[in-house]
Structure 1
Amino acid sequence: MRKLISVAVMSVMALACFPAMAEMKIAVLDYQMALLESDDAKKYSADAEKKFGTQLQRLRNLEAEAKRLQERMQRDGEKLSQTELEKLELEFRQKAREFQTQSKELNESKAAADREMLDSLKPKLDKAVENVLNSGNYDLVIDRSAVVDVKPEFDITRQVIERLNR
């Protein structure tokens, strides 16, 4: 009997919560998409491509040279003298080392530039998010990565991007 009364009381309490939940205003925000789709991020991406383009091209050239050397060693290795083969192997190792060094430098430079851009853009993005949240009077905002599926009317990401681009 006590069990039945407990279940009845819990059911009534659960039903009483539904009207309050029905009035809750919920939104979903893809913070990363808002950041990457902003005009500032797109401009940064184009600028970074120009800034790091020559280094990237040098890396591609080094990679092509190393592949060419490796293919030559595999193709002509038996025909070459020991001295020529050692010379090719040394040249290949030098290209590979140079590739690794330049690749590491490029990655570090790009990561530093990315961090700098994020540091400058984050306050603007936070302000845009705050403005959209305040104007929409939302009770709960959930990160898009935590949601399996959402109806478009609950996703405020585009609103945040538009606010950020103003």
Structure 2
Amino acid sequence: MNIALYVLAFCAGSAISIQAVVNGRLATNLDGNTVAAALISFCIGTLVLAVFAVSRGGLSGVIAALPAQPSWTFAGGVLGAGFLFSTAFLAPKIGLTNMLVLIIAGQLITSITVDQFGLLGSLARPVTQVRLAGIVVVLGGVMLTLFGERLLKW
């Protein structure tokens, strides 16, 4: 295991939290226009990625290879836009913690399904009892986070 990759994954998770707050604030400052906030965020992100892509040798080979790609592989941009819009919309409405634990629950359930069956061309990684137990524990934490206060009142 490469600890640097785990640290990078943790930082990416932290960035999602910060991004949701920043985009939510931008949307609020734009009279609640979450679509405009997501668009602005994507445009800035596109510029940053363009600088990195050009600095790594350009895009001519990549552009030439685009027509040969299956159409479903372009869904990542749509999914990313939906994610970004959702976080900007939901964070101020349901709170950052509630939003993120639900995102984590969705990621875990989807990820274990993709791993188990090798969906979308990914490598199949059978679900073990230990991994399943870990996911159940995390989903229990999600439920506790969302409904724990109500349970304590009983």
TM, length-normalised to structure 2? 0.28
| Structure of greater relative contact order (alpha carbons < 8 Å, 6+ residues apart) | 1
As a proportion of its length, which structure holds more strand?
Answer: 1
Q: Bigger radius of gyration, 1 or 2?
A: 1
TM, length-normalised to structure 1? 0.26
